[in-house]
Amino acid sequence: MSNYSEYLDNLFKGITNPKGTLGDAAHAQAVFRRNFYRLAPRQKFLYHTVFELSDDALRVLTTFNQNTILQKEINLLVKTADLPKMNVEVTTKNMYNRKKNVQTAISYDPVNISFHDDNLGLTTALLEGYYRYYYVDGNHRSDTIAFDPRNTYKGESFHGYRYGFDNDSIGPFFKSIQIFQLARQSYTGFELINPMLTSIQHDTMDYSDSVGTVENQIQVAYEGVRYSRGGVEEGTPKGFAEEHYDKSPSPNTLAGGNTNFFGPGGVFESLFEIWENSR
């Protein structure tokens, strides 16, 4: 009789508490894993950047102008990129018998972007082009100009050669700089309005470092931010999945030659795992 009572007690407890006494709460699983990870945090390494050069800049960078692939490869060599940062100035005013917060201005902190300094020297060539576009000093050749310790450049007259900004550059170098977060075949874009470099920093060379890689760093000032959203596909965002992108099907799929349907590592096992993870 006691065994029968214990059986009923365990049956009743199982119905009212299907997890049992050791079952854990599924709050995080319900938030982050269900509905195909809709609310899961984004991954930092899933991003794409786009540097669009103006027509005036391409006339200076003749190599980039003649080879559109190089323009797209610049986007693939971004190592790290800050997303925009905005600061809103708020002033507290006296309004009758209470305090009132009033917005007075908005400012945009510069963002830092680092590039891999590749063996071809592509990212260095981009920064060289920016320097030569705005500053005439970068266009003087050492074999055709004499340097003077008192006047930098020695010409026929005291100001025989042009300096600094005296380079007849009026239009911007960058048409736009865009950073795209990627997740679940969609993107969120941040476009920096009127971007301008405030810092160009080449790396440090070190004979004792045999592990680290060389990079170029820039700091970008901008006047505003424009947001965008959409679906990810070939060429959207601009240049995505067009150059050096592996389009071969996975060997675990039917298109990749997997003829194993029901066994370990088979197609249906993978589908079942996807369905389980999305619950």
Q: Around Cβ 252, how many Cβ atoms within 10 Å?
A: 14
Determine the residue type at 167: N
144: its two tokens:
């055709």
Q: Around Cβ 67, how many Cβ atoms within 10 Å?
A: 11
142: its two tokens:
């050492």
Buried b (16+ CB within 10 A) or exposed e, 127-138: bebbebbbbbbe
pLDDT at 194: 95
pLDDT at 263: 53
pLDDT tens for each residue of the chain, 279 residues long: 556 665 555 655 656 666 666 667 778 888 888 888 888 999 999 999 999 999 888 887 877 777 888 889 999 999 999 999 999 999 999 988 899 999 999 999 999 999 999 999 999 999 999 999 998 887 776 665 666 666 666 655 545 567 777 788 888 999 999 999 999 999 999 999 999 999 999 999 999 999 999 999 999 999 999 999 999 999 999 989 988 888 888 776 666 666 665 555 555 555 556 555 555
| β partners of residue 229 | 188
Q: Count the helix, strand and coil residues of the chain and give each as a percent rounded to the nearest 5.
A: 25, 30, 40
Give the three-class secondary structure for 156: coil
pLDDT at 163: 74
Q: What is the pTM of this model?
A: 0.80
- Residue 91: φ, ψ to 5°: -115, 135
With 0-12 / 13-18 / 19 or more C-beta atoms within 10 angstroms meaning exposed / middle / buried, residue 33 is middle
pLDDT at 259: 61
Residues 86/106, Cβ–Cβ less than 8 Å: yes
**Sequence-ordered alpha helix ranges (H) in the chain:** 2-16, 27-32, 34-37, 55-60, 62-66, 68-76, 122-134, 267-277
